Structure 1
Amino acid sequence: MLYPENLEQKIGFDHIRQLLKQNCLSSLGTAYVDKVRFTDDITLLQKLLGQTSEFIKILAGGEEFPSSNYLPFDKQLDKARLEGAYLLEEELHGLRLSLQTIMACLRFFKGREEQYPQLTELGVAIWLDPRLLLDIEKVLDDNGRLRDNASPELQKIRRSLISEQSRARRTLDSILRSAISAGYAEEGSTLTIRNGRLVIPLPAEHKRRVKGFVQDESATGQTVFLEPAEVLEINNNIRELELEEKREIMRILIQVTSTIRPHVGALRKASGFLAMVDFIRAKALLGRQLEAIVPEVQPQPLVDWRNAVHPLLFLSHRAMNKSVEPLTISLNSEQRILIISGPNAGGKSVALKTLGLLQYMLQCGLPIPLAEGSRVGLFRNLFIDIGDEQSLENDLSTYSSHLTNMRFFLRAVDKKTLFLIDEFGTGTEPKLGGAIAEAILEDLLRQGGYGVINTHYGNLKQMADRTTGVVNGAMRFDVRQLEPMYQLDIGRPGSSFALEIARKIGLPNNVLEKAKELAGTEQVELDKLLVQLEEEKKAFQDKTRALEKKEKQLRESVQEYTELREFLDNKRNQYIREAKLEARQLLDEANKRIEATIRDIREHKAEKEATKKNRQELEVLRKETKLTSAELESGVVKQERLPVEKGPITPGDAVRLKDQGAVGEVVAIRGNDVQISMGALTSTVKLNRLEKISRKAFKKETQVAPAMQGIDMNERMANFSSNLDVRGLRTDEALAEVDSVLDSAAMLGTPELRIIHGKGDGILRQMIRNHLKGYSFVTHFEDEHVERGGAGVTLVYLQ
């Protein structure tokens, strides 16, 4: 039940209807807009909302849904069902365009049944014989005119007609040129048609110079339109052929209409389908305009909304590049009635109308502008008392009209009613008005209704504070700027800020002081407390916003730092790869020269001078590449390795990581776990990964580049990531990256790594996994979970 009768106009739903109509493509859809009604049937509502939600997905996905030629054809069907009647060419053309659109819609949903089940269901009962459209297209061209070959007879007639018209035109052109040459006709005269016959224009004084019949004359009578005798017979033939053409066209149209007649019933269903699609499309478009959602509807009365906005206010503000302050509100079985107080023009009425309009829109099957996560319920009744209903005819004052509404509310409110009352109890003596309002509120609460009430009465605020099921709410007010903030704060009463506003306006201080005295200490203190509370809350929110701003700046700084770190890390890896490649080339060249020298020495055993020369060259090479004599003699360049000492490892010993080459000092030993210090980094590693080295070797190793070693450790700790992406790298580059991340992981004691290599043909994955088998501290590896990359990612587990 809705109350009053003009509820739609009071909450603004009539404007929503107009917006829907503007989004419709034809009168088919607008007819459905006029039929929109409030319902509490949850099954029907879920169906309507589901259809709209699916169409919003179509629009959001950018799929090309038919959006033209939504033409009504009910009149054509009414005409076609009558025996002997026929559709004109333009009527037949409109029917054809609509049928093309219907079939295109049905084709769109074919194969998308799972994606759009509700919309697909609309077309389940629609079946059109494809031959019907073919029969129409066979006789009509793309412009909606009957084709010349619609029938053999029509083709013959039109050919004869064209021939006769051409002959008549040639004859008349000749006569007109002769008349112009003889001075009987004016220069620039052209052929024209009068009474359906080709004629030539002549000045009235020369009309007897050319033999023929006057078919017409100009408005001034100075020009006559003459049909020369030479073309009389030709024009008669043309006229006869035109009449034959009309008779043949009529015969063809009657025949085509006869083929349509048996399908009138199916076509009416198809017309309803097209109208419904147009209507649902309009609802979806409106939903996108309002940035609305289709929430899940609960069967019980409930309002639990987040960031709701008034649709009309949203559209008007957006046009001016302004934002709307959203409304967050909750009504449930424990908190059924909300008492909103606050200053005038503070947004109380807007909050009330927002609640009423959105609930009404929802129960009409329309999407509403709320935040995701909001919960909505159903009400059987919606009652409002908004605005002034003074009536001279019924001798009703403002207060009387309010009481009339309250009388209806008290009779009809039940547990499934949502009532909205603006300025409760105003219009009469405040003390009595407040008492009556409190009594009415108690009765509405007893009857189990849900509602929102705007008021300035202090006794209602106090009642809400002490009564279960009723809660206070305040429209916030900026006490510094003395401006409304249009924010609803549930859980506390609001002040009218009457004294503050009066002071801003400029009332004299003595008047304000007298007003405080008359209001009484209790009221002034209460307002003072509310003002102080508002100031504190405003200050807290300002600090919160400042903190959020700083946090945002910090996040941006961290992001910039991360990006810079990644850039530097990539550069460092690039330099390392280049250095390794250069070293490898140098070593390869050195090995080649060593082998060549040794071979030359062996070949010239007896030639001391040649041998001596070769040994001198070998010594130069040793100095250049810093190789040992043994390495030169053996022809193999080996990596330098620190000497290992025998004996157990104890705290204070110098040690080396077997698989990494990094050195450190033992801090503590706990079973098989050893805590070692490497520069500025302390790490825990397994005992079997360490080997004891001399103190002298340790000092030599750490003094080579102590600053560099410390920086490297800090960077590794700060920049380390357990995710490595090697997609797009060559195999040698990818393996170098794997080596680097394994080095860092081993030093930092990381238990797990993710190497992202992609699936492709599997070669890179296999090369990486074969490479991992060479690391003693890699326990095992496996594919990532299928939802997080599957075979395209390798999980590596370390000791």
Structure 2
Amino acid sequence: MRDGRLVIPVAPGLKRKIKGIVHDESASGKTVFIEPAEVVEANNRIRELEGEERREIIRILMEFSNVVRPTIPEILQSYEFLAEIDFIRAKSYFAITTSSLKPALEDEQLVDWTMAVHPLLQLSLAKHGKKVVPLDIELNQKQRILIISGPNAGGKSVCLKTVGLLQYMLQCGMLVPMHERSHAGLFSSIFIDIGDEQSIEDDLSTYSSHLTNMKIMMKSCDEKSIILIDEFGGGTEPQIGGAIAEAVLVRFNEKRTFGVITTHYQNLKHFAEDHEGVVNGAMLYDRHLMQALFQLQIGNPGSSFAVEIARKIGLPEDVIADASQIVGSEYINADKYLQDIVRDKRYWEGKRQTIRQREKQMEETIARYQSEMEELQKSRKEILRQAKEEAERLLQESNARIENTIRTIKEAQAEKEKTRLIRQELNDFRASMEKQDSKEHEEKMARKMEKLKEKQDRKKNKKSPDPKVASTQAAAPKAKPIAVDDYVKIKGQTAIGKISEINGKNATIIFGSIKTTVKLDRLERSNAAPKPQEGVKSTFVSTQTHDQMYEKKLNFKQDIDVRGMRGDEALQAVTYFIDDAVLVGMDRVRILHGTGTGTLRTLIRQYLDTVPGVRHFADEHVQFGGAGITVVDLV
């Protein structure tokens, strides 16, 4: 394409052989671009059509502009409304993604957050299948400034940034990721000093940039401000840096400002212990596993764990010993005592939580028993009422029969003496009937009460063990677990063997000269040792069978390869393989069928679904074969 015309590149020596117009040549002069005479007219037509198209576009735009021009204010308003709606949707979508909500807002300066989470850290860790350790923090009028100490890479700066980011999000009208029982206040100013602001242009070093920020904070902060300072006093010689930091902290406390400050300085930890309004906090660290727990605990200062971290990294022991000697045993011991206090506090906190849970369970049990007793009393009253009604009905029937008999006597016109005797007999009969009915009803009521009690006991037995059984179990000594060299027998069998080895849930047992492996839950202790018999093995099957099974187990391979087989051949091979695996007691086997079209894999898995001895099957891990191998867990 040259100047909007379609041309042909031609070598300079051949340009005379083509009739046309030369439009251009290359920079090197080795190519000329010729428009053949045959297409000149077509190119002219294309240019005319392009001009017409351009004029038509201009006409359409002018007419469209004339139509739109009267409604420009409404369009601009709609555009602004759309932007606002899109902004609200973005906030709500982000809140849904981070599981955020609106905490209870208070008209005062307050930070009382439970299970607060840094949203960006949460999203970043979620991509790798990890979870953020939530933050519990409280700042109020009694403890306004929190001094956080603890090990490096222990989460101090993350805690600081979480407070700043969530408070700023909240005051910008965004929902924040924390528990619904959290309470939050509002601050007029948020001052932040995080990171290194050194500048060559402004002639600022690391420490001077921090001091500049401190000056601005002391001048501008008040009781409605919150300050966030990372590594307070750092960047210079420790003694003077700690002293200046403490002096600045006094000013912040006098102005009753709120704040979260991270530091390693001991004098700031002591200041927080001795002054009202300032409180210590520690990022917890597991000394045994040598890893940070990323949990904030308010109330105690934290240790830097410098010695432990240096030892974990692999610093020579003599270097660590020299450092400990230089700093002095008092400092090392104080740090150790501090760690022990934090550890003990965590231990007793866990104990207290356990006691609370057990108290709650006990209260629920008592409430359940009380409701069952009330239900039992109601049932007893109902049974008594029904028994009385039935007794009254029987008495009425007896009286009616007696009166009927007397009427019959009168109609027969019997003698008075005879009538009197018959009446006396009927009265005796009635008394005996009443007594009998009373006894019968008492027995019947007793039976009903007994049935009701049995029903209640069955309900209790579903939730808790039978008291008789429990008392018997309590009285009986606790069963001693099966150990090596104990004599045992398989449940349901009579053969007695001796345990030679226990490996996890399996035990190796010697029956005479036969050694076999059996799961521990299929064994029971035998009080008697096996009786030695010459020429006879104390086993319930033949020696030949045992030897064959032992040989089969030794030679059994946990993998089978059916690639390249037809469906019926592979299915038959897998059937025999699974049967042998169940027979020799394997826990897990692998079937290599390849990926291919997936037919073999589908057939084999359809068969595995029908085998009772198969507990679970799934693809192998992607590093070891993925979908080309099926891992089968057997019962």
Q: Secondary structure at the match of 2:227?
A: strand
1:646 partner amino acid? E
Q: Which residue of 2 aligns with 1:304?
A: 112
> Which AA in structure 1 matches 2:136?
T
In structure 1, give the amino acid aligned to 2:165.
L
Which residue is 1:424 aligned to? 232
- Deviation for aligned residue 1:444: 0.6
Matched, 1:678 2:447: no
Match of 2:218 in 1: 410
Aligned to 2:93: 285
Matched, 1:655 2:441: yes
Aligned to 2:293: 485
Which moves more between the two structures, 486-495 or 310-319? 310-319
Contact preservation (8 Å) 1:499, 1:512:
no
Q: State the secondary structure of the residue aligned to 2:241.
A: helix
Cα gap change, 1:267/1:236 in structure 2, threshold over 3 Å: closer, same or farther?
Answer: same
1:338 is paired with a residue whose SS is strand
Question: Contact 1:420/1:453 (CA < 8 Å) preserved in 2?
Answer: yes
- Whether 1:352 aligns to 2:138 is no
Shift of 1:245: 7.3
**Equivalent residue number for residue 450 of structure 1:** 258
Q: How many matched pairs?
A: 384
In structure 1, C-alpha distance between the alignment counterparts of 2:64 and 2:154, rounded to whole Å: 67
Identity across the alignment (%): 43
Aligned twin of 1:512? 321
Q: Distance in 2 between matches of 1:402 and 1:246?
A: 63
| Partners of 1:305 and 1:371 within 8 A in 2 | yes
The answer (yes or no) to whether the contact 1:214–1:225 under 8 Å persists in 2 is: yes
- Comparing 450-459 with 276-285, greater Cα deviation is found at 276-285
Whole-Å separation in 2 of the counterparts to 1:222 and 1:417:
75
Judged with a 3 Å threshold, the aligned counterparts in structure 2 of structure 1 residues 217 and 339 are, in CA distance, closer, same or farther, namely: closer
Taking the aligned partners of 1:282 and 1:485, their CA distance within structure 2 comes to: 33
Structure 2 counterparts to residues 138-217 of structure 1, below 5 A: none
Corresponding residue for 2:151? 343
What are the within-5 Å matches in structure 2 for residues 718-733 of structure 1? none
Q: Distance in 2 between matches of 1:293 and 1:326?
A: 15
In structure 2, relative to structure 1, the CA distance for the partners of 1:654 and 1:456 (3 Å cut) is: farther
State the partner residue of 2:434: 646
Q: Distance in 2 between matches of 1:437 and 1:235?
A: 81
Distance 1:451 1:393 in 2: 31
Q: Counterparts of 2:326 and 2:35 in 1: how far apart (Å)? A: 101
Alpha-carbon distance change, 715 to 414 in structure 1, aligned in 2, over 3 angstroms: same
Q: Which residue of 1 aligns with 2:138?
A: 330
Question: What displacement does 1:390 show?
Answer: 3.0
Q: Could you say what secondary structure the match of 1:487 adopts?
A: strand
> Closer, same or farther in 2 for the Cα pair 1:716/1:422, shift >3 Å?
closer
Does the 8 Å CA contact 1:479/1:534 hold for their aligned counterparts? Answer: no
Which AA in structure 1 matches 2:444? V
Q: What is the CA-CA distance between 1:217 and the residue it aligns to?
A: 11
**Which is further off, 485-494 or 512-521?**
512-521
Report the Cα distance in structure 2 between the residues aligned to 1:479 and 1:241, rounded to whole angstroms. 82
Within the alignment, does 1:267 sit opposite 2:75 as a pair?
A: yes
Distance 1:546-1:228 versus aligned 2 partners, 3 A rule:
same
On the 8 A contact 2:22/2:32 being kept in 1, the answer is: no
Using the alignment, how far apart are the partners of 1:531 and 1:367 within structure 2? 37
TM-score computed with the length of structure 2 as normaliser: 0.51
Pick closer, same or farther for the CA change 1:362–1:655 going to 2, 3 Å.
same
Does the 8 A contact of 1:423 with 1:456 survive in 2? yes
- 1:242–1:541 distance in 2 versus 1, CA, 3 Å: same
Question: Does structure 1 conserve the Cα–Cα contact (< 8 Å) formed by 2:21 and 2:37?
Answer: yes
Kept in 2: contact 1:207–1:224 (CA 8 A):
no
Q: CA deviation at 1:279?
A: 2.5
Shift of 1:290: 2.7
Instruction: Give the secondary-structure state (helix, strand or coil) at the position aligned to 2:154.
Output: coil
User: 1:630-655: per-residue Cα shift (whole Å, max 9, x none)?
Assistant: xxxxxxxxxxxxxx9524998xx553
Structure 1 SS opposite 2:434: coil
Q: Which has the higher contact order (CA 8 A, sep 6+)?
A: 1
Alpha carbons of structure 1 residues 483 and 544: separation in structure 2 relative to 1, 3 Å: farther
- 1:431 to partner: Cα distance: 3.4
Quote how far apart the aligned CAs of 1:196 are: 9.2
Q: 1:235 to 1:517 in 2, by over 3 A?
A: closer
The alignment yields a C-alpha RMSD, in angstroms, of 4.6
Shift of 1:265: 1.5
Q: Match for residue 738 of structure 1?
A: none
* CA–CA separation in structure 2 for the residues paired with 1:383 and 1:390: 18
Equivalence for 1:108: none
Distance 1:240 1:507 in 2: 86
1:140-172 deviation digits (Å, cap 9, x = unpaired): xxxxxxxxxxxxxxxxxxxxxxxxxxxxxxxxx
What whole-Å deviation, never above 9, does each CA across 1:737-770 have from its counterpart, x for those lacking one? xxxxxxxxxxxxxxxxxxxxxxxxxxxxxxxxxx
Q: TM-score normalized by structure 1?
A: 0.41
Unaligned runs of 5+ in 1: 1-191, 198-202, 559-643, 657-661, 667-675, 683-709, 721-799
Establish whether residue 320 from structure 1 lines up as the match of residue 128 from structure 2: yes
Unaligned runs of 5+ in 2: 7-13, 366-431, 464-635
Is 2:304 the partner of 1:496?
Answer: yes
- Separation (CA, whole Å) in 1 of partners of 2:163 and 2:73: 43
Pick closer, same or farther for the CA change 1:358–1:718 going to 2, 3 Å. same
- What's the offset of the Cα at 1:417? 0.8
Please tell me the residue identity of whatever aligns with 1:260: V
C-alpha contact (below 8 Å) 1:415/1:448 kept by paired residues: yes
Q: Please, which of 100, 103, 125 is the counterpart of residue 295 of structure 1?
A: 103
Equivalent residue letter for 1:519: G
Superposed, which structure 2 residues align to 1:90-109 within 5 Å?
A: none
Aligned to 2:272: 464
Return the offset for 1:474.
0.5
**TM-superposition CA deviations, 1:331-388 (whole Å, max 9, x none):** 1222211011112221111111111122222223333222222222221111122222
Given that residues 663 and 678 in structure 1 are in contact (C-alpha distance below 8 angstroms), is that contact kept between their aligned partners in structure 2? no
Would the aligned equivalents of 1:478 and 1:538 in 2 still touch at CA under 8 Å?
no
Aligned residue for 1:328, secondary structure, equals: strand
